Amino acid sequence: MNLDAEVCCRALAARDARFDGIFFVGVTTTGIYCRPVCPARTPRRDRCRFFTSAAAAEQAGFRPCLRCRPELAPGNAPVDANGRVAHLAAARIDAGALNDGGSLEALAEECGLSSRQLRRVVKQALGVSPVELAQTNRLLLAKKLLTETRLPIIEVAYASGFASLRRFNALFRSHYRMAPSRFRGSNGATPREPTMRLLLSYRPPLAWAELLHFLAARAIASVEIVSDATYARTVAIGKHEGWLRIGTGTKRNTLVVELSSTLAPVLPPLLARLRSLFDLNARPDVIEAHLRNDRCITRMMQRGPGLRVPGAFSGFEMAVRAILGQQISVRGATTLAGRYAAAFGRPVETPFPELNRLTPTPGHVAAAKPSDLAGLGILPARAETIRAVARVIDEGGLRLEPGPEPEAIIERLQAIHGIGEWTAHYIAMRALRWPDAFPHGDLGLRKALGAASARQVRESAEAWRPWRAYAAMHLWNHLGHIQRKDKNDE
């Protein structure tokens, strides 16, 4: 991204939230870098240096502001082909791809590049190397944990992705010019607590109620609970198990996450999954500016400004839910999903009686007999499709998460017997986070558009590229509003 200094200065003077996370400003007289929404006094133009990322600012010798807290800046999610691979790599690094022995070579292979190519594209897009980006991410997560939780400092170090406390202390002092304990005003000795609370930021507006309504209709019993204001679920990442709950907070443009401390060792991937599930890196200003070219979608957007595309906490979980939803109602598929979780999910203890099962794993489902699934009321053909998806994921032949070539994953999904275009594109919308995925054969989309055929839906959708998934959400939201209104009028 090429930063226009004049545009950045105007955004900084106006504290324009649309630019939050798009650039950071380093102030040469203080050696501190800030978000453009920082409440501190606006520095003079000749004292400002602008950076595309927090990592670039830190590489230039600036340390993070304690008032606006750069670690809270929302992510940037471009979809242009030139920057897609770099930002995919950045997202993987943010989720801990280079922690716990993860190698740059493995990440590069995952992105379809050599390690040398990956270094070049990340450096070109973000101004820093992948290793420098990983180091900044670890430091900012550590700062976040020191500020927002009471985790002991040694656990903060390991939860942030550092291999040793010594390395953590050395980097913290060299970058931030203070000891980690300074963020707590004590020697860092704090009692262990069973839960943690963290903040996740987003770029406004956010149609939170509409997002929860969508997830509530599809929540898997015993695994997820959705209320009027919060979403809660059980969690298993590797050998670590627990639970989380997320809702709106008092701090502007943030969500509050409460989670069990047992999940502290897997915070980077967990927080990345939450940002994906709630699409918190979206740019509603860019998306909606494009969709406003269509009058029909413009009218629908007025009902849900800032509407997001719900992602997936687990790609396999999302795929099973999509297969169960083939040619039956949302309510019927949700009922089947609850039976499936009760039969194949391992039990887990949480503070919520309704949350008592972990989502089933691909290995467990792949080993099941077809009759075990069919006995739950799942049609035999769909039961076999679920087992086929479980096998290919368990064997490493398919990864249902954002990747550099979503079209190739869509084709791979459609090669599995029982998965058609609708199912593949719906999975791509949510698990692959592909903003241009569009299940044009969906009956609800046809109803919302008043189209006579799937072909008409496809033709109408061409004008919405590359944000067709968001247009689909507005259409479904519009249809759901009409159906609820009709039901209330009865």
Asked if residue 257 lies in contact with residue 280, where contact means CB atoms within 8 angstroms, the answer is no
442 as an active site residue: the answer is: yes
Using alpha carbons, select from 438, 460, 439 the residue that is nearest to residue 449.
460
Pick the catalytic residue: 9, 34, 65, 68?
A: 34
Name the CA dihedral angle for 101, 104, 105, 111, rounded to a multiple of 10 degrees.
120
Q: Are strands 63-64 and 32-34 parallel, antiparallel or unpaired?
A: parallel
4 as an active site residue: the answer is: no
Radius of gyration of the chain (CA): 23
The 63-64 sheet, strands edge to edge: 48-51, 24-27, 32-34, 63-64
| Residue 364 neighbours by CB under 8 Å, 6+ apart | 344
Using alpha carbons, select from 419, 427, 373, 426 the residue that is nearest to residue 399.
427
The one-character DSSP state at 244 is E
Asked if residue 232 lies in contact with residue 222, where contact means CB atoms within 8 angstroms, the answer is no
Pick the catalytic residue: 94, 279, 436, 442?
A: 442
Name the CA dihedral angle for 265, 271, 272, 273, rounded to a multiple of 10 degrees.
100
Q: Token pair of 480, please? A: 């759901």
| Residue 321 neighbours by CB under 8 Å, 6+ apart | 218, 220, 333, 337
| Residue 69 neighbours by CB under 8 Å, 6+ apart | 35, 143, 144, 147
Considering all CA atoms of the chain, what is the largest pairwise distance in Å, rounded to the nearest integer? Answer: 72
φ and ψ at residue 32, rounded to 5 degrees: -115, 145
Active site residues per annotation: 34, 442
